[in-house]
Structure 1
Amino acid sequence: MQLSRKLATGALTLVSVATMSSLASPAGAAQPAPKAEKPVEITLTAVPDVGAQCGGDWKRAVGVPLRWKKITSNCSTWGSPSYKAAYQWKAERGAPCIKVKGFQNGREKWFNAGCGRSGQIRNVPWGNVAAKKAIQVKGASLFRWR
């Protein structure tokens, strides 16, 4: 389980204040009797699983007319020697033309996926590459892809 940034910062601040207060009094000074302190309550919050955000989530995108626009996923795909990628899209407005990123012999290559309000392409060569999925879109459109 990972600690959130706020929790880690709070713990570091607490330790720093305790250290500074113990160093602040002179060496021969009388120390006050320690007070009974309340236990510190720490609440751990779950950090969202990155895999859940990447797996099958639809990403929103916008296409522009007359030119190709590249759109990249936030998540990496870890391939294997025989891995094939799959892409899918659904337009809410417009009918975009789509190209998808794949790899041949370890080199990036763009494959035509077609045009239309919806579609998919499977078996896009990927291979033993770790990279982010990406599409290129042409045509005025508002759509989702994965």
Structure 2
Amino acid sequence: MTVSISRTFALGAVSALSFAAIAMGAAPAGATPAEATVAAAPAGVSATGICSGWKNAGGVPGKWTTVNDGCAHFGAKGMKMAYGWKVFKGGSVCVKVKGFNAKGKKTWYNAGCGKTGSVKAPWGNVAAKKEMQIKGGALLRWN
């Protein structure tokens, strides 16, 4: 019995296996250690991890949109959490950032409006995700 495999099927199988290997962290053959680190990171994720660097977000005119970074940030007594944002497409945005009051209760702090900004919010001895509320028609990066 002879089995015939078409060229299209074979190329598709090789492409699927290559994609799966890269998605699981395998580096391309012959990659230098630096290239291997970058190749192992999924699209949109820095080689240092999803909890560092800038994240993309979008705002809607007239409505508050909440975004979070998906990472637990561990605080300490008296600590303040730093936030920053930069609009790269669209108009100004208004921003509120999550922090915690003296009793450890989640509180939204006004961070102002504009195309760029930064603020530090009280965090304290809490482990939680960083969150921002954005209002305004724009695409931005935040950290």
TM over 0.5, yes or no?
A: yes
Distance in 1 between residues matched to 2:47 and 2:128, nearest whole Å? 15
**Equivalent runs, 1:47-86 vs 2, <5 Å:** 52-54=48-50, 56-86=52-82
> What SS is found at the alignment partner of 2:78?
coil
Moved runs in structure 1, 4+ residues, more than 3 A?
Answer: 45-48
Which residue is equivalent to 2:125? 128
Residue by residue, what CA displacement relative to the aligned partner does 1:54-93 show, whole Å, maximum 9, x if unpaired? 5541000000010101101121110011111110000012
Q: Is 112-121 or 50-59 further displaced after alignment? A: 50-59
Uncovered stretches (5+) of structure 2, i.e. residues with no partner = 1-23, 25-35
Which residue is equivalent to 1:113? 111
Uncovered stretches (5+) of structure 1, i.e. residues with no partner = 1-5, 7-44
What amino acid sits opposite 1:113 in the alignment?
A
What amino acid sits opposite 1:130 in the alignment?
A
With over 3 angstroms needed to count, the CA separation of the structure-2 counterparts of 1:74 and 1:51, relative to structure 1, is farther
With over 3 angstroms needed to count, the CA separation of the structure-2 counterparts of 1:117 and 1:88, relative to structure 1, is same
Percent identity, aligned pairs only, is 44
Distance in 1 between residues matched to 2:132 and 2:48, nearest whole Å? 21
TM-score (norm 1): 0.63
* 1:139 matches 2:136: yes
Query: How many correspondences in the alignment?
Result: 104
**How much does 1:96 deviate?**
0.6
**How much does 1:53 deviate?**
2.1
2:86 to 75, 87, 90: 90
Larger Rg: 1
TM-score (norm 2): 0.65
Which residue is equivalent to 1:38? none
With over 3 angstroms needed to count, the CA separation of the structure-2 counterparts of 1:130 and 1:53, relative to structure 1, is same
With over 3 angstroms needed to count, the CA separation of the structure-2 counterparts of 1:121 and 1:51, relative to structure 1, is farther
